[in-house]
Amino acid sequence: MFAVAIATVIGFCGLALAQLKPDTTALKVAPIEITASAISGFDRADSTKKRFGKLDWRGGLVLTSASASFGGWSGIAMDPDGQTFVSVSDAGTWLEGRITYNGTAPAGITAARSGPLKARDGSALSRKRDRDAEAVVLTGGAPGSGALLIAFEQNDRIGRFTTTGQGIGAPSAYIDMPAEAKAMRVDGFEAVAILAGGPNKGAMVAFAERARGDVASGWIWQNGVPKSLRLGGMGGFDITDAASLPDGNLLILERRFRWMEGVKMRLRLVKAATLKPGAVLDGEVLLAADLGQEIDNMEGLAVSRGAKGETVLTLISDDNFNTLLQRTILLQFTLLD
């Protein structure tokens, strides 16, 4: 009961402080120092436990920085080899860096740098509603030298970006939006993925954050045209991110918050063959976690490969810039066949 009470306070304060995002209009590209503290085990009661649903625990980090712009990380993309990453924040910033490892467990963050996301003309995003980046996916190359899609909510849009030695540049174009996007407002694009295989290989899939009843809205772009689909079985969860597996199966990261139960996290697998326009999708639960495990407001999900060819999942949390009561944590798991 004590844990539930603490969770209630955390949730309430998190919501209250979520509006205190830093003004990033004057932010410049610069190195950033990040301190990483290892998480000994995913299960709070048994740090030796490794198997969770259909995932094996690899390790995790609590990340902190003295920079006022550090936090709010809502999406993450990984290099295919699992070394470098790029993350985006709902305050309109990006973060690039390299994960160091102790064996297979994340040990630290090096070569980190951060900067502001930009408008199409290269200027700063001056309005808060324009800066709310929620998802990022790597479409080519690698973090630091590749092509990205970045999704925003409030001013709902999905842009094409490139990243170079100077950081993430201005968007070169925006994706054609579904007609329903005009009415989404606060529950805009929260998850974007490019299908890496299957019958719709290369297609983009996106989902809105909040479900309507037990169903969440989504779209699949076929030949550049967005077509509606839905994800059922939400059970009070909201969608926070998505990532494609190499075979085109889709992972969906979900979050649920209730005053009397705290925050929960769920990871579901949607089969590639079911990703069709008009479909009401369902998903197999691979992992379910609550405050008995080392979670926070988990919002970012990425897929990469380990040294032995295993599928590695990386998750990152959005601390709402509430460093007193929430954390930025990075978690990694191995997906079992």
Higher pLDDT, 19 or 138: 138
Ordered strands of the 238-244 beta sheet: 238-244, 250-258, 262-270, 284-289
pLDDT tens readout for residues 102-158: 999 999 999 999 999 999 999 999 899 999 999 999 999 999 999 999 999 989 999
Contacts for 26 with CB less than 8 Å, ≥ 6 apart: 124
Contacts for 332 with CB less than 8 Å, ≥ 6 apart: 58, 59, 60, 105, 106, 312, 313, 314, 315
Per-residue pLDDT at 212 = 81
185: confidence class by pLDDT, cuts 50, 70, 90: low
Q: Mean pLDDT across the chain, nearest whole number?
A: 92
Please state the domain count of the chain: 1
Which residues constitute the domain of residue 87? Answer: 2-335
64: confidence class by pLDDT, cuts 50, 70, 90: very high
Mean pLDDT, range 275-298, rounded to an integer: 97
Backbone phi, psi, residue 328, to 5° = -95, 115
Give the CATH number of the domain where residue 146 resides.
2.115.10
